[in-house]
Structure 1
């Protein structure tokens, strides 16, 4: 078993085709087929079956692909530790929340290209549960999470806190300077993320404390669908302001901050405890944190309060960031 065989396996799994995999790997098709055959002989089982839509992973193949992906990710991290004389280099994968991607992704890519041209940046988008799982599995190097449950596998640093907003169509008449109490919308149809999404948990806790029962019209873990259903007039939703600032500016939606004291979400930076943090990861993380702080100072991240400069409990401090 060697790296070429593992790369062939993952590329076939991603494309569903030996021919397409060969093109991406810059190899002839028989060479890729041979690498797969040798790998299957080595592990003693078939990893693919030819299905209706091309090469489909067998149950054994699905298991093996997970380990192969992690193995190659670890090798990429090892290479990034061996810094070339030219400066910081390596592959860095950052996990971002859907509500933060539009504001952060483009600027982060530009800043990394400017400051660390030898760093190859990857951005993975997901909700807190997915991102935390990817972080623990080694599929992302650092991630922004909604205030997650404590875990021995990761270290966190609180970065910011922001109020949640009630969101509806323009005719709902919500205004940024007129806060709304959750009780005022208790009788409305609501479109919310599936449990146990972070915002859903906050809303449910606030409703339980206030003795409110919301009417859930639909549940979805796709933020674009969540907003689309509101635009279609199927209900109201609850989101952080950063997720809807452009929609409100274009007149597609109206929104107002919720006045309930416990409807605040906290975003933290999470790094793994189980492995070294390469120099390239530390550098990209520092750019990301600085960028988020600047977004608040410049008024681009409305209603957010910066927390990272406040004293953090010892277990939340990230010593790796400085060395």
Structure 2
């Protein structure tokens, strides 16, 4: 088994066509066909269904191609780390950001890295905490922002930010940033919330159970954009962290008030894999990410957030 075979596997999986894959890899079709045959012989398993529809991965192929992608990705990152361009620090760093933090942090982070570490390339993924924890443990990303409630011996966690949750409604709902409300006062409101086990939904469920309240959840969606759109269209209310609604409040698109219940706050942590080496490129990206978060809080762009890192 060699890298050419893995590249052939991944390229055919993506194109589902032997001829197109050969063109992309700039080799003749018999050569790529031979690489796949040798790979299947080495594994002792057929990886593709071959038919009129092209080359389609079977179950064994779908399993192995994910390992192949990770191997090729790790080699690409290692080459970039060992041979940085123009004598500068180099490397590829994969970052995972929570959907509620991505809009505020991604542009600032990219801008700072281009200025201070132009040799570092970054790949930004967004996802919910549970997904990103799996990506970290599987080696698909190097750094992530998670909720503190999601712990694992496979991860090193550093608490960064404490942030309260806000009750969000459409324009005209009379919600104000300087008038906090309690969860008991929203039991009669139709709610649009993420489905369990989303971190915010868990906090809301715990707070309502603690106070023996029955909330009226009319819609569940794990899309923050859908939450906001349904609220904007007057179909209900939602609960979000302040960072997710800064621009909406400033533009008058939505109205919101902080929830005063102590249980309705979240802690955001920086997470890195325990068993993997933290390269110099990763350390630099981590430092820039932390600075972006601190700057956002100090400038008032991340309202109701408190920096708690040492």
TM-score w.r.t. length of structure 1 = 0.88
Paired position in structure 1 for 2:219: 218
SS of the residue aligned with 1:259? coil
- Superposed, which structure 2 residues align to 1:22-171 within 5 Å? 22=22, 24-27=24-27, 31-50=31-50, 55-82=55-82, 84=84, 86-171=87-172
Paired position in structure 2 for 1:239: 240
Paired position in structure 1 for 2:8: 8
Residue range with higher mean Cα deviation, 116-125 or 128-137: 116-125
Take 1:264 and 1:54, find their aligned partners in 2: how far apart are those partners?
A: 51
Deviation (angstroms), 1:184: 1.2
Take 1:52 and 1:299, find their aligned partners in 2: how far apart are those partners?
A: 59
Paired position in structure 2 for 1:181: 182
Deviation (angstroms), 1:22: 4.5
With over 3 angstroms needed to count, the CA separation of the structure-2 counterparts of 1:16 and 1:300, relative to structure 1, is farther
Residue range with higher mean Cα deviation, 62-71 or 286-295: 62-71
Is the Cα–Cα contact under 8 Å of residues 96 and 124 in structure 1 kept in the other structure?
yes
With over 3 angstroms needed to count, the CA separation of the structure-2 counterparts of 1:8 and 1:83, relative to structure 1, is same
Residue range with higher mean Cα deviation, 47-56 or 294-303: 47-56
Take 2:204 and 2:52, find their aligned partners in 1: how far apart are those partners?
A: 44
Take 1:39 and 1:203, find their aligned partners in 2: how far apart are those partners?
A: 50
- For residues 214-235 of structure 1, the C-alpha deviation after alignment (integer angstroms, 9 at most, x for no partner) is 1111111111122122222221
Is the Cα–Cα contact under 8 Å of residues 246 and 301 in structure 2 kept in the other structure?
no
- For residues 18-44 of structure 1, the C-alpha deviation after alignment (integer angstroms, 9 at most, x for no partner) is 455455545555544443333223222
Deviation (angstroms), 1:70: 2.5
Take 1:32 and 1:251, find their aligned partners in 2: how far apart are those partners?
A: 57
Paired position in structure 2 for 1:313: none
Paired position in structure 2 for 1:276: 277
Deviation (angstroms), 1:89: 1.0
With over 3 angstroms needed to count, the CA separation of the structure-2 counterparts of 1:58 and 1:188, relative to structure 1, is same
Deviation (angstroms), 1:46: 2.3
Name structure 1 gaps, 5 residues minimum: 310-323
Deviation (angstroms), 1:147: 1.2
Name structure 2 gaps, 5 residues minimum: none
RMSD value over aligned CA atoms?
2.1
With over 3 angstroms needed to count, the CA separation of the structure-2 counterparts of 1:257 and 1:9, relative to structure 1, is same
Residue range with higher mean Cα deviation, 27-36 or 187-196: 27-36
Q: Is 1:294 the counterpart of 2:295 in the alignment? A: yes
Is the Cα–Cα contact under 8 Å of residues 73 and 138 in structure 1 kept in the other structure?
no
Is the Cα–Cα contact under 8 Å of residues 8 and 32 in structure 2 kept in the other structure?
yes
SS of the residue aligned with 1:280? helix
Take 1:238 and 1:280, find their aligned partners in 2: how far apart are those partners?
A: 36
Is the Cα–Cα contact under 8 Å of residues 96 and 123 in structure 1 kept in the other structure?
yes
- What is the aligned residue count? 309
Paired position in structure 2 for 1:199: 200
Deviation (angstroms), 1:173: 2.0
Deviation (angstroms), 1:79: 3.1
Is the Cα–Cα contact under 8 Å of residues 95 and 126 in structure 1 kept in the other structure?
yes
SS of the residue aligned with 1:172? coil
Take 1:147 and 1:227, find their aligned partners in 2: how far apart are those partners?
A: 25
Deviation (angstroms), 1:252: 2.0
Paired position in structure 1 for 2:259: 258
Is the Cα–Cα contact under 8 Å of residues 95 and 142 in structure 1 kept in the other structure?
yes
Deviation (angstroms), 1:164: 0.4
